[in-house]
Amino acid sequence: MSIRHRLGVVLAFTVMLLAILGPLLTGDPTAQPDPVGGRLLAPSTAHWLGTDAFSRDVLSRLAHGARLSLLIAAIAMTTAGSIGVLFGVVAGGVRGLFGWTTSRAIDIALALPRIVVLLVVVAALGQITPVELGLVLGLTGWPSIARLVRGEALRLREETHVTAAVALGAPPARVIAREILPGTLPPALVAATLGVADVVLLEAGLGFLGIGVSPQLPTWGSMILQAQRHLAEAPWLLLAPGVALVVATAAATLLGDALRSRLAPGSR
């Protein structure tokens, strides 16, 4: 395992630790102990990352935000990954009308601009729970994975070991399940892991725009939205969720890369 990959694992572990243990060790992220005297406090021993405009503890909000972000990302990428692999393998592996139709469905889904669809759907639904947001992000994120998997499946379909399986008398479903599908999973898993970075950023973007989950919930996006109003007086408000975003995104990217090299036997 290379240094980059180790770093990815360490970063991912850090973010997960923050998401799992952080909320247990820090206080209530919505508590406003002193809305008059305790607002916009600089980092100190009492508040490691300072307080925000409502005197809420930034570290506590960051930790709860990590939990929310990871929950949303996990739901989104599981949804997008499953649908994407299913559509992609059918589009690339199945010959005839069924495969062709699936392929065109992917093309149509790809042609829809994700951010516009997201804005419309989230605006139409109004305020939604994090789980619902995860599902919506997943349902808009699958086409890119499907495209990748379709390409992989089309390439694999021409490989000699697929012909060998056909020549052995394997029925089409078995050929797809044994010879084509397994080969598409590593790139799909890598894409889904990289997609976590996208989803974390998208969720932050939606939070920044003030739509999606309730602004009361401490998401990184809503933290950044609120921080920008006090950028001059309290830059740590922006720094904390900003750095967390970068770390989480880098962790997902490096982890995806590490997975890629682990999942390809004989490729190195």
Partner 1 sequence: MTTPLVEVRDLVKHYRPAGWFNRNAPSIRAVEGVSLEVAPGETLGLVGESGSGKSTVGRAVLRLEVPTGGTIRFEGRDLADLSPAELRATRRRMQVIFQDPFGSLNPRRTIGASIAEGIEIHGLAPAAEIPARVDALLEEVGLDRNYRHRYPHEFSGGQQQRIGIARALAVEPAFIVCDEPVSALDVSIQAQVLNLLLDLRERHGLAYLFIAHDLAIVRRIADRVAVMYLGTIVETGPARTVISDPRHPYTRALVSAVPHPDPDRQGDRIVLEGEPPSPSAPPPGCPFAPRCFHSQRDRRCDQERPLLRMVEDRQVACHHEG
Binding part of the chain for partner 1, among 61-69, 114-122, 154-162, 242-250 by CB under 8 A, reads 154-162
Question: Which residues is 51 bridged to in the sheet?
Answer: 57
Binding flag, residue 167, partner 1 (CB under 8 A): yes
Angle between helices 3-20 and 236-263 (to 10 degrees): 130
Stretch of 141-149, 179-187, 215-223, 246-254 lying at the interface with partner 1 (CB under 8 A): 179-187
Residue type, 46: A
Q: How far is the CB of 176 from partner 1 (least distance, A)?
A: 13
Whose CA is closest to 77, among 37, 148, 135? 135
Q: Which of 201, 233, 244, 210 is nearest to 52 (CA)?
A: 233
The position carrying tokens 């994090």 is 130
User: Per rule CB under 8 A, is residue 266 in the interface with partner 1?
Assistant: yes
> Nearest 5°: phi and psi at 126?
75, -145
Which one of residues 3, 97, 168, 232 is an interface residue with partner 1 (CB under 8 A)? Answer: 168
Q: Which of these ranges, 126-134, 135-143, 153-161, 243-251, lies near partner 1 under the rule CB under 8 A?
A: 153-161
User: Which ranges of the chain does DSSP label H, i.e. alpha helix?
Assistant: 3-20, 22-25, 58-93, 97-111, 114-125, 130-157, 160-167, 172-174, 181-208, 220-228, 236-263
238 exposure class (CB count in 10 Å sphere: 0-12, 13-18, 19+): middle
Is residue 164 a contact point for partner 1 (CB under 8 A)?
Answer: yes
Among 6, 95, 155, 161, binds partner 1 (CB under 8 A): 161
Distance in Å, CB of 167 to partner 1, minimum: 5
Residue 97 binding partner 1, by CB under 8 A: no
Does residue 187 interact with partner 1 by CB under 8 A? no
Give the burial class of 173: count Cβ atoms within 10 A of its Cβ; 0-12 exposed, 13-18 middle, 19 or more buried.
Answer: exposed
Nearer CB in complex with partner 1: 124/168: 168
Say whether residue 4 binds partner 1 (CB under 8 A). Answer: no
**Residue from the set 170, 177, 238, 247 that interacts with partner 1 by CB under 8 A:** 170
Identify the DSSP state of 41.
Answer: P
Q: Is 173 in the site for partner 1 (CB under 8 A)?
A: no
For partner 1, the binding residues (CB under 8 A) are: 159-161, 163-171, 174, 178-179, 182-183, 265-266
